[in-house]
Structure 1
Amino acid sequence: MHEVITGPSVDDEVVDHTGRLLLVLTYSQGMGMTLAHYPHAEAVLTAHLHHLERLEPSSSRYSTAAWLADSLGKHGDTGSIGPAERWRSHRERYLALLDREDWCQVAREALAAQEPGILRLAETASGRRLRAFADRPPSGDGD
């Protein structure tokens, strides 16, 4: 993964797939290699962010970036990500991306269209803290 994503010219599908693989690594405690033990983790996260920042937003990219930001924080699976401080700069960059108006607009449109992935995200406490969903009333369902 690191050899492909760190290249200067990366296909959009590779960027999207890398995001999904990074999510698996953040939730894979006890099921294989975790992000904390992946030797190229920082390079892959940095490259993934670099490519996401140049791409058009989509609801799936928004969702992936939001779940990554959440999992890299203090509430992430510490067995998979290790100390949250290690990932702070990456988490902050994902959050900055999610705060961009073009990304917020895509998320709001997906929410209005009731896309399941965005609905699930918006129903979580982490999702409600995102600017795209800040005015959404809590559902009462919890996390």
Structure 2
Amino acid sequence: MDDEIIDHTGRLLLVMTYSVGMGMTLSLYPHAEAVLAAHLRHLARVEPSAGRYCGAAWLVSSLGESGDSGSIGPVQRWQPYRDDYLALLDRDDWCEVARDALAAEEPGIVRLAETAAGRRLRAFADRPEPGGE
């Protein structure tokens, strides 16, 4: 699969987790599970990048309790995919890319690392809480 298609698919999946009232939601998409599984398979085979890290991390957040419940439906439905995305983000090569992007102050990674969802990721686990020491 082409890298651009993998990246675009990730963006579409993310939008579908927040699309209540704007179009097809992930919970109503008949092929949601198959597309999530395929996206994960292909994402695990390509080189990590800051954009891919951010996209997968935001998708993890969306597939959990902080996602749009009208769009994603029951959280339990998405738990296996959420766990698999988290395992990918936990890989050393993906963490290294995220940390390098944070050191380079890439805006998407900085914004992610400053959120509660970002602070729970291994790549940013050692970062202090905002406003803390």
Give the TM-score range, shorter chain. over 0.9
Return the alpha-carbon distance in structure 1 between the equivalents of residues 126 and 113 of structure 2: 11
Q: Which amino acid aligns with 1:90?
A: Y
* Stretches (4+) displaced over 6 A: none
Return the alpha-carbon distance in structure 2 between the equivalents of residues 98 and 78 of structure 1: 23
Note if 1:83 corresponds to 2:74: yes
- 1:116 Cα shift? 0.4
Q: 1:118 aligns with which of 104, 109, 113?
A: 109
- 1:21 Cα shift? 0.5
- 1:139 Cα shift? 1.6
- Amino-acid identity (%): 73
- 1:121 Cα shift? 0.3
- 1:75 Cα shift? 1.9
Note if 1:59 corresponds to 2:50: yes
Note if 1:31 corresponds to 2:31: no
- 1:68 Cα shift? 0.5
Ranked by relative contact order (alpha carbons within 8 Å, sequence separation 6 or more), the top structure is 2
Return the alpha-carbon distance in structure 2 between the equivalents of residues 39 and 111 of structure 1: 37
For residues 1-143 of structure 1, the aligned pairs below 5 Å read 10-140=1-131
- 1:44 Cα shift? 0.4
- 1:132 Cα shift? 0.3
TM, length-normalised to structure 2: 0.97
Across the aligned residues of Structure 1 and Structure 2, the Cα RMSD in angstroms comes to 0.6
- 1:105 Cα shift? 0.2
SS of equivalent residue, structure 1 residue 37:
coil
TM, length-normalised to structure 1: 0.90
Return the alpha-carbon distance in structure 1 between the equivalents of residues 35 and 98 of structure 2: 25
Partner of 1:4: none
- 1:72 Cα shift? 0.4
- 1:52 Cα shift? 0.5
- Show CA shifts across 1:87-132 (max 9, x none): 0100000000000000000000000000000001000001000000
SS of equivalent residue, structure 2 residue 27:
helix
SS of equivalent residue, structure 2 residue 21:
coil
Q: Which amino acid aligns with 2:4?
A: E
- The gaps in structure 1 that reach 5 residues or longer are 1-9
